[in-house]
Amino acid sequence: MSYPCEIKEQPAQPTLSIRTRLAVQALPQLLGQSYGAIIQYLGQLGEQPTGMPFAAYFNMDMQDLDVEIGFPVSKRLPDQGNIKASEIPGGHVATCLYIGPYEACSPAYEALGQYAKEHGFTPTGVAYEFYLNDPSAEPKQEPQTLILLPLTAELQPA
């Protein structure tokens, strides 16, 4: 299977998010709760998300996952409780559209990491997943996930 990968440069993106640690089994329920709380808070502020919901993964320890759950927003907004202003860093990123079950996306990550290396970049170690559709909605659709890896340039030998 091929995965459409690209490298682009993007500005920093303000977000509102909740960062926590949990076992991967608890993630689906927490995603729903977190997105709901953030949408409710955005409504109180009279704001709307400017993009699709995301989860940022800061490690891949499935029993102690360090994850940030949120939405892109138009500007830095005030914190409320565990909902914090954050941002997706600007700079070079590698992206890949993955269509299929969430639990089977490892090959897309591998292809994206390889693509970045072939173009002289190294992933920073943080991975963002933007959830482009709701697979539980009718009519049923395959989940569509935009994977985004912030990048650093490879050091060139002197």
In the block, residue with structure tokens 């079950």: 101
The pLDDT of residue 158: 46
Is residue 17 within 8 A of residue 35, CB to CB? The reply is no
d(CA 85, CA 68): 11
Residue ranges covered by each domain of the chain:
5-153
Query: What's the topology of domain 5-153?
Result: Multidrug-efflux Transporter 1 Regulator Bmrr; Chain A (3.20.80)
Burial of residue 64 (CB within 10 Å: 0-12, 13-18, 19+) is exposed
The pLDDT of residue 102: 86
* Segments in the chain forming alpha helices (H): 27-45, 106-118
Does this model's pTM top 0.95? My answer is no
pLDDT tens digit at each of 158 positions of the chain: 788 999 999 999 999 999 999 999 999 999 999 999 999 999 999 999 999 999 999 998 999 999 999 999 999 999 999 999 999 999 999 999 999 988 899 999 999 999 999 999 999 999 999 999 987 777 788 899 999 999 997 655 44
How many CA atoms lie less than 13 Å away from 42 in the CB half-sphere?
21
